[in-house]
Amino acid sequence: MARITVNETGTYPVLVLSTDDIANIDASDLANGNIGGNLLSVTCLQDITVTNSTGIFSWTDFCSGAINKITTPSDNEVSTNVVIDDEGWFGNSSVTPNTAPAFYGVSGLSQNKIEVAWRVQLNDSTVDANVGNLSGYFYAGKGYISSLAPTVSPEAPVWVSPLSIAVTGDMYGGEF
């Protein structure tokens, strides 16, 4: 049985964000891991969790002695903890165009409620808009960044923060 390893050089997971032409990124793009250009790699992940939470509605009736169930729409989320770096977190005002995710940084994308296309690459640390240059497995979708809470302490003197992406619409997964 093959395993998806992340402990070898160049095989760590990566979270990539794009604001490039969000309205025109469709299901077939996302199903292939294509989230557009103008990418921002959220670096220094401490951990990452991709949650596919399909809802279930349960009911009982007099026709059966068992509980009946049916699925409801999914409520998906990507959550991670990151070590904060200045440019990735706060953005870079010299980046063009000024709609690129690197212009805003993670914090600016959240504060300005900007929808992002996102891709979690499970085992390919390459950040490339051309998915043909990537190998490995991915999840992709659209959503909004939330749950930022930077923290630091004398015992942990590096700024870290949780980061969540509330997925809007479907989430896709596959192999490059």
Residue 47: pLDDT over 70: yes
Taking phi over 0 as left and psi of -120 to 50 as alpha, with beta for the rest, 38 belongs to left
Residue 1: pLDDT over 70: no
Residue of 96 and 31 predicted with greater confidence: 31
Cis amide bond preceding 97, omega within 30: yes
Element (H, E) at 156: strand 156-175
**Residue 142: which of 111, 117, 170 has the closest Cα?**
117
Residue of 3 and 86 predicted with greater confidence: 86
What pLDDT, on a 0 to 100 scale, did the predictor assign at position 96? Answer: 86
The domain ranges of the chain are: 14-175
Element (H, E) at 104: helix 101-111
pLDDT in tens, 127-140: 999 998 999 999 99
CATH topology for 14-175 is Elongation Factor Tu (Ef-tu); domain 3 (2.40.30)
How many percent of the chain have pLDDT more than 70? 99
